[in-house]
DNA sequence: ACAAGAATTGAACCACTATTCAATCCTTCG
DNA sequence: CGAAGGATTGAATAGTGGTTCAATTCTTGT
């Protein structure tokens, strides 16, 4: 027994793995999923193509993780922003401003996460992403109903429908690169009506 | 000049083209876009693989047409149903019942039209489909505002957001194969609130 | 220093499927 | 009928890009 992997090596491996994920994220933000060949990711990470496969069994596994991380970031940002607010109206405003603001900041990445055609295995991760959003919003809706701020409704359906509404409303602007100045306020007004917040 | 294509031949060609489109639609309804290899379409149409290419320059062109036709069918059905109604509330109810009812009738096809990963060139056609829905709804919304049934709002944004909401609310049920019995009524209630129809 | 074994390389491989095309079959018309 | 040209065939081709693996380089413990 002349070799057993040591902490230093383990750290290097983990750093390498991290660099792969980061490289994939950067390429997605720049050229979308379409630009993410394994070779391109490896090159940007500064390793050989084949080395990707000592960290991830398949490309789909790599991008499932990439989507998971990127999505979590978005969901966390929205959750954090909305959590600071007290009323339902303020919360949903924060959700939309954060979601839309961040999407417009990184339009290519947002498009990849929301709508770009991807491998079916990766698409599954996208559904998780959308459900995570819906889950947060459903919590707020249930809360709002309990506090009498909102009329009776199915929190899950409302939340799912709102997530769809937000995503669809952003796809056009994301493709164009900019949103009209009223897009976000209009979307907020839509959401307030849909929730039934008292004006 | 010993040959010039005659009407009978032209009819046969056009019938053949039609059979290709129909075969593609049937396979989509059965196995989704994923099952639609050119070879599979040709076999179902009863012709050789290569013959597809004497009717369509590329697979993407074929499926752009297939999506266009299938989408138009859906949009027409919704438009027809809603057109029979007078009030905004009744119209949007008809839109949702028709859209959701038809989707649940052909879940695999609906999933392919709405959400399945497809070739980017075909994806573009999907956007046209969604915009066509939005356009119809935007007309109703503008009408509703003019008649004082709805509060002031941006008809295009409301319509786009509603289309996203409908699609998102259907994706789960389509994947599961069935919708809970309250999905459609709840979605109708959501849309009524979002539009601001007076109760 | 050296042997054992792990990590890395990157060019070759492979699977998949859209697309092509030489050969063949049909249709038209003199 | 026979020649001209179009339509059809389906096996071969080709482009793409994920995945593999023999060779090489690097690490570790004696």
Q: In this structure, is residue B78 part of a structural domain? A: yes
CATH code: domain of residue A102: 1.10.357.10
pLDDT digits (tens, 9 = 90+) for B108-158: 999 999 999 999 999 999 999 999 999 999 999 999 999 999 999 999 999
Q: Inform me whether the pLDDT recorded for B7 exceeds 90.
A: no
Q: Inform me whether the pLDDT recorded for A1 exceeds 60.
A: no
- Between CA A53 and CA A62 the distance in angstroms is 9
What are the helix (H) ranges across A37-153? 38-45, 59-83, 88-105, 107-114, 120-146
Domain check: are A99 and A151 in the same one?
yes
Strand C contact at CB of residue B6, distance < 7 A: yes
**Chain D positions with a protein C-beta closer than 7 Å:** 2-12, 17-22, 27-30
Domain check: are B37 and B64 in the same one?
no
Domain check: are A100 and A171 in the same one?
yes
C1' nearest to CA of A60: which nucleotide? D18
- Between CA B171 and CA B112 the distance in angstroms is 10
Domain check: are A42 and A69 in the same one?
no
Instruction: Work out the minimum CA distance from A168 to partner chain B, whole angstroms.
Output: 5
| Residue B118: per-residue pLDDT | 94
Which tokens hold the place of B174? 């389509």
Are B161 and A163 a contacting pair at CB < 8 A? no
Of A120, A165, A193, the CB nearest to B164: A165
- Between CA B160 and CA B183 the distance in angstroms is 20
Residue A161, chain B, CB below 8 Å: the answer is yes
C1' nearest to CA of B49: which nucleotide? D10
Please list every residue in chain B whose beta carbon sits closer than 8 Å to the beta carbon of residue A171.
Answer: 127
Question: Which of B67, B66, B68, B15 minimizes the C-alpha distance to B45?
Answer: B15
Residue B46, chain A, CB below 8 Å: the answer is no
| Residue B59: per-residue pLDDT | 98
């Amino acid at each position: 027994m002349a070799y057993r992997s040591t902490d230093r090596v383990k750290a290097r491996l983990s750093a390498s793995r991290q660099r792969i994920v980061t490289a994939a994220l950067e390429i997605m933000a720049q050229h979308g999923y379409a630009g993410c060949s394994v070779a391109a990711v490896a090159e940007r990470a500064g390793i050989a193509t084949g080395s990707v496969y000592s960290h991830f069994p398949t490309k789909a596994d790599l991008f499932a993780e990439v989507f998971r991380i990127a999505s979590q970031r978005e969901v966390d940002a929205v959750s954090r922003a909305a959590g600071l607010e007290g009323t339902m109206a303020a919360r949903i405003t924060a959700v939309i401003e954060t979601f839309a603001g961040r999407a417009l900041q990184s339009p290519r990445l947002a498009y990849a996460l929301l709508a770009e055609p991807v491998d079916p295995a990766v698409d599954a991760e996208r559904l998780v992403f959308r459900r995570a959003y819906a889950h947060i919003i459903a919590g707020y809706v249930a809360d709002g109903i309990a506090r009498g701020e909102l009329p009776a409704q199915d929190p899950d359906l409302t939340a799912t429908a709102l997530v769809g509404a937000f995503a669809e409303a952003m796809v056009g602007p994301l493709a164009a690169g900019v949103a009209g100045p009223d897009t976000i306020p209009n979307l907020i007004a839509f959401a307030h009506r849909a929730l039934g917040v008292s004006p």
